[in-house]
Amino acid sequence: MNKRKILFVDDDSGVLSGLKRMLHKMKDEWDMKFVSGGQEALDCLARETYDVIISDMKMPKMTGAQLLKKVSEKYPNTVRFILSGHSDKELILQSVGYAHRYLAKPCDPDKLRQLLATSLGIREMLTSRELHARISKIKSLPSPPEIYNKVISEVQSPNANLNRIADLISQDVGMTAKVLQMVNSAFFSLPTHVDNLRRAVSLLGLNTIQGLLLTAGIFSCFENTEIMGISVNIIYTHSMSVGANATAIAKQLGMSQNSVEDAQMAGMLHDIGKLILMEYFREETKQVIKLAVENKMPLYFAEKEILGVSHAKIGAHLLSLWGLPDSIIEAIIFHHSPSKAGDISINVLTAVHIANALTPEFHETGRLLKSSTIDPDYIQALGLSNRLESFNDICNSNLEIEKV
């Protein structure tokens, strides 16, 4: 097995020496290089390829944010981490579009190993370095204009209310993912992972939310919201419905409150890969839709034909880079094919798979798109075959509510 090549950057020689000692036991798995500044790091990257760069935030001449911006532009295949003892929010906002993850010093080597495994693992499922590079450059996902404008209006209001802001952000797939990425970064020193959006917005606070939306430059509107009858609004409507249905199914399956919240988030984010394709792979998406329509096949089958990978893996890859929890990543990557997940147990993936398969998705013309189907072997293995009718009733009930 090839070693992962990891580049550590810190202007403090004592910190670098400490990192070397702390990570010595990883030498059989990682090929590590330690350098003392941004320019030296760029020189290393010019000579050879690194899987990961882990940089300090505050450095003279070139900050970690400035370094990772250059790395994202020149070496997009490299996964980018900030590892810092500082919690300067201004610097955090400067780096939010370029750092995939934020870690606090000191960082436990086992935790770092786990985080790197998650960030790099799904990349192996992608078919090309070019595909990985294009996904790794994504700072955030644009929003439908009507949602974006409402959020901006509320944030700029002299009477801005965090609960109203959270409710608006909860209607937006990309903003939700980015807020969860930020609140779960080590800079906020939270003892547990936060998956509840209201709590996430409350913890970030109004000033940080305003900074993210107004000054960090990572949120924007979709300019072109439709390709050949498939629109961003259709994807959003389906995503929100799957989130609601996955929540109801998770409750009926007796899951814990944390798992119910994860099911809601995973259901909402399960098709984030489609939004990536709509915004960043428009020409390929046209080919995908054409192939799907002509051959009457689900879009994710056509995606594999054209791109070699489905929107599920593309979305899961981006969100793994952004540090969302494994239960959500698993539900996204396997929502079409849960049997491939390995662990056959009732969990977040179960709720999302059932909700997605039973929630209709429509073309702009109003005709039903050929979408996901229930994995009968998976459902049978879980002993849930006789409950599908009740799950279907839940999804149909929520659909009727949406129409009212």
Contact in structure between 312 and 300 (CB atoms under 8 Å): yes
Pairing state between β 101-104 and 30-35: unpaired
Contact in structure between 378 and 352 (CB atoms under 8 Å): no
- What average pLDDT does this structure show over 161-187? 84
Residues 314 and 236 in one domain: yes
Which helix (H) or strand (E) segment holds residue 270: the answer is: none
Structure tokens at 372: 């996901």
Q: How many domains does the chain have?
A: 3
- What average pLDDT does this structure show over 318-326? 81
Identity of the amino acid at 14? G
Residues 28 and 175 in one domain: no
What is the pLDDT, as a whole number, of residue 9? 96
Which residue among 215, 234, 267 closes a domain? 215
* Cα-Cα end-to-end distance for the chain: 57
Q: What is the 3 state secondary structure string of 367-403? A: CECCCCCCCHHHHHHCCCHHHHHHHHHHHHHHHHHHH
Read off the pLDDT band of 192 (50, 70, 90).
low
Count each helix (H run) and each strand (E run) in the chain, helices first. Answer: 20, 7
CATH number at residue 355: 1.10.3210.10
Structure tokens at 118: 């998650």
The reply to whether 387 falls in a domain is yes
The reply to whether 133 falls in a domain is no
Which helix (H) or strand (E) segment holds residue 284: the answer is: helix 282-295
Residues 170 and 200 in one domain: yes
Cα three-residue angle 306-307-308, rounded to 5 degrees: 100
DSSP, collapsed to helix, strand or coil, labels residue 9 as: strand
Which residue among 93, 125, 157 closes a domain? 125
The reply to whether 392 falls in a domain is yes
Nearest alpha-carbon partner for 217 in 326, 331, 96: 96
The reply to whether 15 falls in a domain is yes
CATH number at residue 15: 3.40.50.2300
Residues 211 and 234 in one domain: no
Residues 31 and 155 in one domain: no
Q: Give the Cα separation of 181 and 320 in Å (integer).
A: 10
Which residue among 215, 242, 270 closes a domain? 215
- What average pLDDT does this structure show over 318-322? 83
Q: Is the dihedral of CA 215, 221, 223, 228 positive or negative?
A: positive
Residues 391 and 257 in one domain: yes
Alpha helices by DSSP H, listed for 308-347, are 311-321, 326-333
DSSP, collapsed to helix, strand or coil, labels residue 366 as: coil
Residues 261 and 394 in one domain: yes
pLDDT tens digits, 120-150: 766 666 666 778 788 888 877 888 888 888 9
The residue with tokens 């609960």 is: 163
Residues 173 and 234 in one domain: no
What is the pLDDT, as a whole number, of residue 403? 40
Beta bridge partners of residue 32, listed in sequence order: 6
pLDDT tens digits, 104-123: 777 777 878 777 777 776 66
Which helix (H) or strand (E) segment holds residue 207: the answer is: helix 197-210
What is the pLDDT, as a whole number, of residue 125? 67
The reply to whether 151 falls in a domain is yes
Secondary structure (DSSP) of 76-114: TTSEEEEEES---HHHHHHHTTT-SEEEESS--HHHHHH
Mean per-residue pLDDT over the chain, rounded: 84
Residues 200 and 286 in one domain: no
Contact in structure between 240 and 176 (CB atoms under 8 Å): no
Residues 305 and 209 in one domain: no
The reply to whether 289 falls in a domain is yes
Nearest alpha-carbon partner for 312 in 334, 290, 296, 342: 334
What is the pLDDT, as a whole number, of residue 404? 32
The reply to whether 134 falls in a domain is no
Cis ω before 191 (30° cut-off from 0): no
pLDDT tens digits, 335-353: 999 999 887 899 999 999 9
Cα three-residue angle 303-377-371, rounded to 5 degrees: 30
Q: Which residue has the higher pLDDT, 27 or 287?
A: 287
CB atoms within 10 A of CB 301: 15
Residues 198 and 272 in one domain: no
What is the pLDDT, as a whole number, of residue 174? 86
Cβ-in-10-Å burial (0-12, 13-18, 19+) of 401 comes to exposed
Nearest alpha-carbon partner for 72 in 37, 96, 99, 43: 99
Residues 372 and 290 in one domain: yes
The residue segments making up the domain with residue 17 are 4-125
Contact in structure between 142 and 173 (CB atoms under 8 Å): no
Sheet with 101-104, edge to edge strand ranges: 30-35, 4-9, 52-55, 79-84, 101-104
What is the pLDDT, as a whole number, of residue 332? 94
pLDDT tens digits, 204-236: 888 888 877 776 666 778 776 788 878 888 888
The reply to whether 138 falls in a domain is no
Q: Give the Cα separation of 358 and 365 in Å (integer).
A: 20
